[in-house]
């Protein structure tokens, strides 16, 4: 047997266990950790995806909420889990783009400690106030913040969330000082503005739209870079004097580094099939989400670009985890 034939035979034999691994996986329930509490966009997305993914995998996909430290608690737990495909993370803009610049030290490396499987979806937020608040437009907000630095407060679902950084970016672009009040969850953050504990809040678009229709809140604009098809009458913040303003939370699925490529590939294939289902797309679009997708390599490139972008924004704003 020639040397080349031996090499080819060795490679073929090495590929057989990987192929068998993908076929055998999963043989038990898969756990999907969510970095934010129940009722959040990440939680809603995880449960919609898990319901269909378990049908395709033939095993339960159990969603577990593990909030705290801007999502770092859940992300660290997954990073330190066995790389066997049975513990996955709903990776987010916070855990894999913002937190590295927000926290003085990180318990994990967002790039090296994960095998990134797929980018799933993104959704913008809306800037909202009470109907009787002293500010009724973005112009009012910025003028008051300029006259009384720090008096305009805004809530978020936690330090390092897209809601938090939307306020930091707004203050940085307008050169005004806003006071950030973090809460443990998005529902608590929204309740803070509903009860008048804070002046403003950034909340997910579907939640904002429901409260606006009920007359409980007034929306001043959306954080996306273009108007939303399902809320076309609501202007963007960028079009109201904040050029370049664009903040959308995004979500994907990641596994511990070292997870076999065959399992990563299988999960990507199954997740993309789930995201292509009309029922799933309809549910997510009903939640104000844009359905995304792509390969593991594309998701890794996306995370690298977002980490660089948000690092610049955080450093310019001076924001820190609090």
Distances in Å between the alpha carbon of 88 and those of 85, 110, 115, 310?
7, 14, 10, 24
Instruction: Give CATH superfamily name and number for 124-240.
Output: Periplasmic binding protein-like II (3.40.190.10)
CATH superfamily of 28-123+248-317: Bordetella uptake gene, domain 1 (3.40.190.150)
What confidence tier does 322 reach under pLDDT thresholds 50, 70, 90? low
pLDDT tens readout for residues 139-170: 999 999 999 999 999 999 888 888 999 999 99
CB 288 within 8 A of CB 126: no
CB atoms under 10 Å from CB of 12, counted, come to 9
Across the chain, how many H-helices and E-strands are there?
12, 10
Taking only the tens place, the pLDDT of each residue in 212-270 is: 989 999 999 999 988 888 788 999 999 999 999 999 999 999 999 999 999 999 999 99
Q: Is 298 exposed, middle or buried (0-12, 13-18, 19+ CB in 10 A)?
A: middle
What pLDDT score was predicted for residue 7? 44
Residue 28: how many CB atoms within 10 A of its CB? 10
**Per-residue pLDDT tens digits for 179-212:** 999 987 778 888 999 999 999 999 888 788 889 9
| Domain boundaries, given as residue ranges, for the chain | 28-123+248-317, 124-240
Can you give the pLDDT at residue 22?
63
Query: For the segment 43-94, what is each residue's pLDDT rounded down to a tens digit?
Result: 999 999 999 999 999 999 999 999 988 899 999 999 999 999 999 999 999 9
- More confident of the two residues 319 and 31: 31
pTM: 0.83
Averaged pLDDT of the chain: 90
Where are any strands of DSSP class E within the chain?
A: 30-34, 61-65, 87-92, 114-129, 153-156, 179-182, 200-204, 218-222, 248-256, 290-291
Contact call for residues 161 and 70 (beta carbons, < 8 A): yes
pLDDT at 313: 87
- Asked if residue 28 lies in contact with residue 61, where contact means CB atoms within 8 angstroms, the answer is no
Summarised one tens digit per residue, pLDDT across range 17-41 is 545 556 789 999 999 999 988 888 8
Nearest by Cα to 32 from 82, 90, 80: 90
- pLDDT tens-digit readout, 98-137: 999 989 899 999 999 999 999 999 989 999 999 989 899 9
pLDDT score of 13 more than 70: no
């Amino acid at each position: 047997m020639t040397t080349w034939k031996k090499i080819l035979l060795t490679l073929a034999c090495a590929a057989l266990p990987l192929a068998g691994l993908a076929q055998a996986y999963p043989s038990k329930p898969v756990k999907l950790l969510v970095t934010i509490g129940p009722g959040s966009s990440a939680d809603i997305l995880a449960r919609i995806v898990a319901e269909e993914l378990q049908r395709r995998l033939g095993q339960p996909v159990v969603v577990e909420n593990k909030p705290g430290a801007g999502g770092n608690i859940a992300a660290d737990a997954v990073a330190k889990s066995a790389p066997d495909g049975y513990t996955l993370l709903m990776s987010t803009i916070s855990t894999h783009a913002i937190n590295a610049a927000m926290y003085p030290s990180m318990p994990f490396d967002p790039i090296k400690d994960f095998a990134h499987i797929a980018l799933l979806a993104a959704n913008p937020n809306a800037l909202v106030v009470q109907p009787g608040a002293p500010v009724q437009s973005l112009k009012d907000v910025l003028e008051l913040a300029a006259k009384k630095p720090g008096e305009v407060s805004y809530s978020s679902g936690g330090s390092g969330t897209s809601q938090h950084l939307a306020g930091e970016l707004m203050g940085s672009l307008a050169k005004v000082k806003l006071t950030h009040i973090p809460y443990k969850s998005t529902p608590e953050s929204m309740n803070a503005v509903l009860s008048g504990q804070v002046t403003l809040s950034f909340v997910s678009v579907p939640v904002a739209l429901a409260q606006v229709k009920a007359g409980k809140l007034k929306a001043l604009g959306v954080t996306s870079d273009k108007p939303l098809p399902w809320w076309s009458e609501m202007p963007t913040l960028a079009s109201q004097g904040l050029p370049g303003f664009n903040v959308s939370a995004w979500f994907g699925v990641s596994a511990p580094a070292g997870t076999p490529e065959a399992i990563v590939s299988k999960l990507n294939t199954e997740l993309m099939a789930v995201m292509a289902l009309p029922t799933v797309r309809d549910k997510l679009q009903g939640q104000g989400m844009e359905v995304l997708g792509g390969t593991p390599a594309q998701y890794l490139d996306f995370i690298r670009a977002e980490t660089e972008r948000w690092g610049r924004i955080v450093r310019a704003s001076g924001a820190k985890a609090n």
